Amino acid sequence: MRNWIIGIAAALGAISGVVLVTAPVESQPGGVEKLTVGIYTPTVEFSTAQARLAYIQGLAKAIESNTGIKTEGQSFASLSALKQAGVDFAVIDGQCYAVNGGFKLLATAEIGGEPTRSWGLFASTGTDMQSLRGKKLSYVQTGCNDSAFIDNAMLESEVDSNFFSSRVSKGDLVAAVAEVASYKGAQAVFAPIGSQKGLTKIFDTGSVPNPAFVEVGDLDPAITAKVASAVTGYGGAGAISGWSAGGKQLFQSLAGRMGRSVKSGVFAAPESVRFDAKDVLVEPPTLSDTDLTPIRQHFARPKGRMQ
C-alpha cells in the first residue's frame, strides 16, 4: 500500500514537472523582454559618477513601472561607448544631439525649470578678451565636434584658432571649471552661468540646450509612447530637475551655430534721386550776351604775294 502511494506521488510530480516546463511564458508588450537606457551628459554637474548612475537607474525604474518591461540604466564615459552598447534609449548631451540629430527626440531635460542654459566665457585672470591672448583654455571634451562648438558656437567664428596658447580637455564640466578655479592649469573656460565657482565672466556666449532623451533603437511605437510618458512625468532629483516634450528646434539652432560663419560688409542700396539737368550744368554768365565779331578774324593774310 505504501509503495502504491509513493508511486502515485512520483507520477504526479512528473506530470507537474512537465506542466512547468511546457507552460507558455507570458510575453512582454511588443515582444520586448528588456530595455536598456544609457546616459552620457558631461556638461551636466552631477556631483560624482555614482550620482549620474543613480539618476539613470531611477529613471529606468520609472520606465519599467510604466511599460511593464524590465529596464536597466547604464552610465557611459563617451558617446561612442554608448552607441556600441546597443542601448534602446539614451540621455545624451545637448551638444551631442545637435551633432547626431538622426536619433528620435522624445524629451528635453530641464535644469532650473528651463530647457536651455546661458553660457559664458569665464576667467581667473584679466577682465577682457585681449587679456586672455596666449593663455590656456579649459573645455569639456564631449567628442561631439568640440572645435566647432568652441570656435563657432561660443566664439562666433570671430577669434583665430591660435588665440589661446593651448586647449586643456576635461571629461566633464566640474573638472573643466576646477582646472581654472582650483588647479590653475588653465586661465579660461566656457561653462553655463552659475557653474563658474567664483571666476570672472568675460562675456556671454548664448544659450545651449540641455540633454536630450532619445530613442536609439527601432521599437514598437506603443512602447516608445509609454517610455516618453514615463520620462516627461519623472521629476527625479539632482542635476536634472525634470523633462519637457519636444524641443528639437533648440538643437537644430545649436547645430547651425556650430557651422563656421563668414561675415562680410553690408552695402545699402542707394535711393533713387531725380534732378533737373540745370541743377548740374554750369551756365556761363556770358552765354546770353550778344556782340559783333570783326570780320578780319575770319581771314588770314598770306606772307607771300598772291598771283
One-character DSSP codes across 12-64: HHHHHHHHHHHSPPPPPGGG--EEEEEEE-TTS--SSHHHHHHHHHHHHHHHH
The enclosing H or E element of 251 equals: helix 248-257
Lateral strand order in the sheet of 188-192? 166-170, 136-140, 188-192, 116-123, 200-209
Question: CA–CA separation, 48 vs 279, rounded Å?
Answer: 80
Return the SS3 of 4.
helix
> pLDDT at residue 2 above 60?
no
- In the predicted model, what is the mean pLDDT of residues 272-285? 65
Question: CA–CA separation, 228 vs 107, rounded Å?
Answer: 7
**Looking at residue 235, what is its pLDDT?**
82
Return the SS3 of 217.
coil
Among the listed residues 211, 220, 245, 243, the one whose alpha carbon sits nearest the alpha carbon of residue 67: 220
Of residues 34 and 285, more confidence is placed in 34
Of residues 12 and 68, more confidence is placed in 68
> pLDDT at residue 115 above 90?
yes
Provide the 10 A C-beta neighbour count for residue 122.
24
Question: CA–CA separation, 33 vs 6, rounded Å?
Answer: 40
What is the three-state SS of 91-110? EECHHHHHHCCCCEEEEEEE
All domains of the chain in start order, with CATH: 31-115+210-257 (3.40.190.10), 117-207 (3.40.190.10)
**Looking at residue 11, what is its pLDDT?**
46
The mean pLDDT value of the chain amounts to 85
Least confident of 162-176, 201-215, 236-250: 236-250
- 97 touches 83 (CB < 8 A): no
- 133 touches 238 (CB < 8 A): no
